[in-house]
Amino acid sequence: MTREAGGIWRGAVAGDCHGLYYTYGVTHDDQRFEVVDPYARAAGVNGDRGMVVDLARTNPEGWAEVERPVLAAPVDAVIYEMHVRDFSTHPQSGIKHKGKFLAFTEQDTQGPQGVKTGLGHLLDLGVTHLHLLPVFDFASVDEGEVDSPQFNWGYDPKNYNVPEGSYATDPFRGEVRIRELKAAIKALHEKGIGVIMDVVYNHTYNSWDSNLNRLVPGYYYRMNPDRSFANGSGCGNELASERPMVRKLIIDSVIYWATEYRVDGFRFDLMGLLDLETVRQIREALGRIAPGLLLYGEGWTGGPSPLPGDQAALKGNAPSLPGIAFFNDSARDGIKGHVFNQLEAGFVNGQAGLEESVKFGIVAATHHPQLCYERVNYDHAPWALEPGQSVIYCEAHDNLTLWDKLMITNGNESEEQRINRHKLAGALVLTSQGIPFLHAGQDFLRTKGGNSNSYLAPDAVNQLDWARKARYFEVYAYYRGLITLRKAHPAFRLCTTEQIQAHLRFMDLPTQLIGYTLGEHANGDPWRLIVALFNARTTPVSVALPAGEWVVVVDQRQAGVKALGYVTGPEVEVEPLSALVLVDRASFR
């Protein structure tokens, strides 16, 4: 390669180079390194060599004709977080391509007792977006060991613009993983399901010997005064996103995935390690590509960082990042208890005094005059400008599943009681304002056997156990009904803070009870007035209702948009450990 002005090096190779593998030879002082092009779009096995690729040859048949799904507003999304291997590796999944991208293309698969699995499960449940844990090339799995089951969540990036080879049927040919990931996205788009990519631009797997550091030592990473690597990620290093060519690399990568693969959104791991300007420019770039692309992330870091807090994409800086959402950890821990203190219970586990933290999730971290923010567990002030900036959830790939948490905090109870607590948590998430987020399998009491950090645990721990869907089908149907309710009624999807302030009014109830009304055809809802009640007590409670006759659409056993019963008195009894949603009878249809 020849050097040009501005630090640019250029080389040209004549002819059709599709399938040609290449690396860069880089010399610093008296040391020479062989590195992979950080812009490589294809790679050989284990990502050790880049590959020239004609991307047009990787498009599956009909790729150009399939349109991406588009939502009117971020709050219309219902996100389902999934690991590629978890989706299909269970022996009873009924899926042929176990652990592979192509598992998402298989139609009409069934599990125990004929329950729908795979793609059919997603469609039947009603989620709008599938959030995939990292599918770019990561370093912790040996792709060459194709017959050896290996597992990792994938938060250890190696090549940012190359799909992970262990999810392909042939990791040795660089174009195969591209074609098969596109086939998976195409199959999901054909069913109207968007694809969200979990991205880890905050660090790389290697530090001093990474491709980036060998290209330009010390430039791509934040360094401490002693020239050691800063470690705000907790993984050994952190990228210096504020530097021009690092920022360019990240933005170019996001644009590439959104255009070439038609990805519909991005979840940023440890987004608090990225600087505000980089995240703003990513949001602007996504807005130019297509309407409705989602962008959300963790509004925190994994440890102290040299990046000043007022320049970081932390949740407290959300007002400086319109159009970007953050996980609402105050509501998460308010609902189920502290994620790092396994014995600490939340609202649904029976702990009193967390009502304001749960309400903080109900109003999507926005300003509401009825909230006492001093009593919110972590956030003592609203941080969301609009409800679309808050991701409401109570379970994710990290930490204990909700079911495993309940096994620890309420293990002396009957299974029926724990199921009721689980359903109560699901009702809170799926009726709250903001963007609801579910962990795959949460809808049928997913367990990892008490493993709170399963990032490299075997498939037996991490896989979706489809037999549980058959065993706990009533729970699955309940979650499905809640999603149906949310998608059918825009009152649960208010788009502005002003709408929440105008239409959502909390009821004055004693501890371990939460109730509110959604009034006057909120957000154009055909239902005039909705009452939502949540009882975390182990005894029934009578609650006064506004005057009128009422139709029950959610109770302890069922959820949806159909009438489950009628209430005509001035009060209603809310069963123990249950949600109750009622609609004024005059507007119910």
Q: What are the helix (H) ranges across 302-401?
A: 329-336, 355-362
> CA–CA distance from 209 to each of 165, 215, 393 (Å)?
22, 10, 37
Tokens representing residue 181 in the block: 């990931």
Identify residue 462 by its one-letter amino acid code.
N
The residue to which tokens 């297509």 are assigned: 290
> CA–CA distance from 337 to each of 315, 340, 401 (Å)?
20, 9, 12
Query: pLDDT at position 200, please?
Result: 98
Please state, as a whole number, how many other Cβ atoms lie within 10 Å of the Cβ of residue 47.
25
The residue to which tokens 């949310």 are assigned: 486
223-277 residue pLDDT tens: 999 999 999 999 999 999 999 999 999 999 999 999 999 999 999 999 999 999 9
Query: pLDDT at position 569, please?
Result: 84
Annotated catalytic residues are: 269, 298
Q: State the chain's maximal CA–CA distance in angstroms.
A: 86
**Is 285 in contact with 251 (CB distance < 8 Å)?**
yes
Supply the pTM of this predicted model. Answer: 0.98
Tokens representing residue 293 in the block: 């692309």
Query: pLDDT at position 316, please?
Result: 97
Rounded Cα gap, residues 331 and 359, in angstroms: 8
In sequence order, what are the residues at sequence separation of 6 or more whose Cβ sits closer than 8 angstroms to the Cβ of residue 67?
189
**Mind listing the domains of the chain with CATH numbers?**
1-200 (3.20.20.80), 223-319 (no CATH), 504-587 (2.60.40.1180)
Helices 355-362 and 415-431 sit at what angle, rounded to 10 degrees? 40
Q: What are the helix (H) ranges across 204-325?
A: 211-215, 244-260, 276-289
Kindly give the parts of the chain with pLDDT less than 50.
none
Please state, as a whole number, how many other Cβ atoms lie within 10 Å of the Cβ of residue 546.
13
Identify residue 34 by its one-letter amino acid code.
E
> CA–CA distance from 568 to each of 213, 408, 453, 572, 573 (Å)?
70, 40, 49, 9, 12
Rounded Cα gap, residues 480 and 378, in angstroms: 31
**Is 468 in contact with 425 (CB distance < 8 Å)?**
no
Torsions phi, psi for 576 (to 5 deg): -60, 145
148-180 residue pLDDT tens: 999 999 999 999 999 999 999 999 999 999 999
Please state, as a whole number, how many other Cβ atoms lie within 10 Å of the Cβ of residue 412.
6
**Is 153 in contact with 134 (CB distance < 8 Å)?**
yes
Short-list 269, 273, 399, CA closest to 332: 399
